Chains A and B, each alone.
Chain A
Amino acid sequence: MASMDPHEGFAVGSYSKPLYPGLEDDSIVAVSSGDVKPRILIMGLRRSGKSSIQKVVFHKMSPNETLFLESTAKISKDDVSNNSFINFQIWDIPGQIDLFEPTYDLGMILSGTGALIFVVDAQDDYMEALTCLHRIVSKAYSVNPHIRFEIFIHKVDGLSDDHKIETQRDISQRANEELHESGLNDLHLSFYLTSIYDHSIFEAFSKVVQKLIPQLSTLENLLSIFVQNSGVEKTFLFDITSKIYVATDGSPVDMQSYELCCEMIDVMMDMTCIYGDESESTSEQDSTCIIRLNNSSILYLREITRFLVLVCILRDEAFTKRGIINYNILCLQNAIHSVFDVRRTAKLNGQLPIEGPSSLKQLSTSAHA
């Protein structure tokens, strides 16, 4: 709970820092230093669910509609950065094309890639998928060892809990063994159990994206400080359009609270679509949304930038200090803006930033407020 420290002299009036204007181009996810947007490749066998994942996460397609998706014929490049904080391209590589054919410039494709997602259909026999996985991963690693390899064990909605764990264990064991045999010991694979019929796909994608955000640890620190000082139990920083969480505080994430937050954003977006003012959507807004649950928890959502919202889960009692929480959110907001400002100015000067603790200091003043 935030409490006032009488030794911290207050200078009322010096707090009137101007609000930052909305970040127009939060161009933050830059893995390579060039101008090209970093890529996330989604690969996997035919009908494994690649296009479905992309449509559900970034285009708000409902899971049932994916039944009617046709098999993709050529590489589809999807730029999600225009209405989202997440600034990169998602390439959907269909299962029916063979990237190893000389018509594709594999070197070019892989060198600008930040993460490679390989989708394995868990409802199918996955032996063929594993062979394919091994082939692609070892090739990609030899071209660009900085790629992160993320394996989505997909369509687990049809599996029982025991079966899920068993499948994950089996797949990771086989995949790692094969890598071991070919001497690729440094190569690390991450595994996720996913399905488009629940929030697991959003959570897995969040983790993939987080690894590509260089400011992640700074953001996590900021959120942890915020949580400690505001009596909040859990907080997430969400990208609104994709419902991917960009960062969260240090405490462990449980799926339920993540789902609650996702649903809250859905509710808010639906309300905005019906009652929101279209013309205002480009300017800085101060959206707020409060949902009280009957277990005396409160969900509190605040807009941070045009693309980011902060969602807090807190107890009823803590919410009596709403003024303080709001004030701390304001400090957090300023800090987040300056974190990304560092990046932007550095980009202008053509040098890489040192992510400094300067923004942390700013927030720690709020710790005593």
Chain B
Amino acid sequence: MLNPADLTKMLNQANSGGIHTTLLVNSQGALVAFSGHGDSAVRIKATISSNIWLAYENSRHNAISDDGMHCFLASCEFGIIGVQKAGSSGVLLCMFADKTVGLGILRAKINTMATFLNGPLANIIAP
């Protein structure tokens, strides 16, 4: 069983050192779990992240090798964002950080978190 309270606590552990929001979003762009502070636009962030992921995923056959996309990092106007698949059901883990955070540390964190979540999230069945 997945305990929503624990899940949020878990996500919250990543929120340090410039990373301010960590969330899980399903393949339909809906927010699954969220931890972060000070920003109301999480749903929008979730939607956009999942949509970018899907856009790449849909065209990966001509761009990326067959084993699919592992992670993407984007550096935006006001911060950086990392997205990686967690579990087998298409749930995505997204992290949002300040501009000051290095892409490497974001990648390391998101990788660690995703690996950890792979276990518990395997229980979720894709819709």
Contacts and interface: CB of A to CB of B under 8 A. Distances in A.
B89 interface: no
Contacts of B49: 12
Given A3-B55, A321-B28, A10 B76 contact: yes
A18 B30 CA distance: 20
A6 to B, nearest CB: 7
Nearest to A6: B55
Contacts of A10: 48, 52, 74, 76
Nearest to A11: B77
A268 interface: no
Contacts of B74: 10, 12
A323 B79 contact: no
B52 A326 contact: no
Contacts, number: 73
B41 A322 contact: no
Contact of A16 (B25, B39, B47, B77): B39
A330 B78 CA distance: 21
A279 to B, nearest CB: 22
Interface in B41-76: 41, 43-52, 54-55, 74, 76
Category for how many chain A residues contact B: 20 to 34
B19 to A, nearest CB: 14
Contacts of B40: 16, 18-19
A17 B45 CA distance: 12
A323 B47 contact: yes
A14 B50 contact: no
Given A321-B29, A322-B28, A12 B51 contact: no
Interface of A is mostly: loop
B38 to A, nearest CB: 10
B51 A324 contact: yes
B91 to A, nearest CB: 13
A93 to B, nearest CB: 50
A325 B39 CA distance: 21
B81 interface: yes
Contacts of A330: 44
A330 B54 CA distance: 21
Contacts of A369: 47-48, 51
Contact of A4 (B46, B55, B79): B55
B96 interface: yes
The winner among A19, A320, A324, A330 for most chain B CB atoms within 10 A is A324
Given A4-B55, A16-B41, A16-B44, A323 B50 contact: yes
A327 interface: yes
A68 interface: no
Contacts of B44: 15-16, 327, 330
A13 interface: yes
17 contacts: A2-B51, A4-B51, A10-B74, A11-B76, A11-B78, A12-B45, A12-B74, A12-B81, A12-B96, A13-B77, A17-B41, A18-B40, A321-B29, A321-B51, A323-B43, A324-B51, A327-B48
